[in-house]
Amino acid sequence: MNIRVGLRLLQTSASSSGSWIWSSWCRSLRPGLRSGPSRGMSGSGRGTMNVFNREMKRKQKSWAASLPDSHQYDYLRDEVRGHRSPGRVLFVFQDSVERLFMTDKAHRPTEIQTHRVLADEEFLPFRENTFDLVLSSLTLHWTNDLPGALRQIHQVLKPDGVFVGAMVGAETLFELRCSLQLAEMEREGGFSPHVSPYTTVTDLGNLLGQAGFSMLTVDIDEVQVYYPGIMEVMTDLQGMAESSCAWNRKSLLHRDSILAAAAVYQEMYGSNTGTVPASFHILYMIGWKPHESQAKPAKRGSATVSFGDLSKINQPSNKDPS
């Protein structure tokens, strides 16, 4: 078994202190999961695009959860849950939360009364107007029917309830994607997708509005993690259960292509210290279920002050004080 030892360096672009977090680690390269050639219908049953093999993703999550050192791969989730929304929201409001329904397989201790429910993001087993708050952390980017999932979240919320979520999106892992594509073009004369497609921040805002949410807030943040090389990047993605589960993925990477991709990765993105970055773009979203008590925009044409007058506020008056 090939053992690789190195240092993982995590940098967050939004960190107020600009600090770097070091973490020593030891990884064993493990074989990836294989998927059969069968293709099923999308879980929504409404003719939505069937991009991901949901059964394969469940197997990946179960395999990652069974690893004896699975907690060592949670550094990205811990960064999102511990220092940013939605995990920060739960910490702030934990004194006012009476009960928490959790669908995450991982056991995380909490002082809140917690009920564990086996549920799928595309099929929420809850009644309408059930919850005051719904949190989602790094799971929605694997759903085939993201608009349907957002509509179900909106449905289970009570009026004036709030949804706070975070998902991977935008140009996540663009370094890995470009390196593999260039390497396969050179060695095999063509390339196959190895990194799953992600939602853009503009599309996410539109989807939240179409789902019925109001008072929307959508933001994007970049988290960079530095690894010794491309093999460590792919190994940690397996441990996070974030390997691709797209139907059109290529199940086999040739050895020559991997070696070429490692060289391209280091040449194009390598740092002066010999490490290579992996970028994770995290999309944060907040949306409220409409209620009559919420603030509403004024009617069009009801303004009494022109924006053109704002520049004159600090100007001295020409009127004679006498």
The predicted pLDDT at position 35 comes to 34
A 10 A CB-CB count for 56 gives 20
Task: Output the pLDDT for position 156.
Answer: 92
User: CB 294: neighbour CB atoms within 10 A?
Assistant: 12
Position 112 scores a pLDDT of 66
Residue-level pLDDT at 104:
65
Cα dihedral 134, 198, 282, 27 in deg (nearest 10) = 110
- pLDDT for res 250: 75
Residues 6+ apart with CB under 8 A from 206: none
DSSP H helical segments within 189-305, as ranges? 201-210, 230-239, 255-269
Residue 49, pLDDT score = 74
- The pair of structure tokens assigned to 277 is 């970055």
The whole-number pLDDT of residue 253 equals 80
Q: What is the pLDDT of residue 19?
A: 33
Query: Is residue 201 a contact partner of residue 252, using CB atoms and an 8 Å limit?
Result: no
DSSP state of 278: E
Mean pLDDT per 10-residue section of the chain, whose length is 322 residues: 41 39 33 33 53 85 87 86 59 63 63 73 86 87 90 92 89 92 87 82 91 91 92 92 82 86 93 92 91 81 78 67 55
Regarding the domain delimited by 50-106+119-294, which CATH topology (the fold level of the hierarchy) does it fall under?
Rossmann fold (3.40.50)
- Three-state DSSP state, 159: strand
C-alpha neighbours within 13 Å on the C-beta side of residue 107: 1
Q: Domain limits of the chain?
A: 50-106+119-294
Q: Which residues pair with 162 in a beta bridge?
A: 133, 288
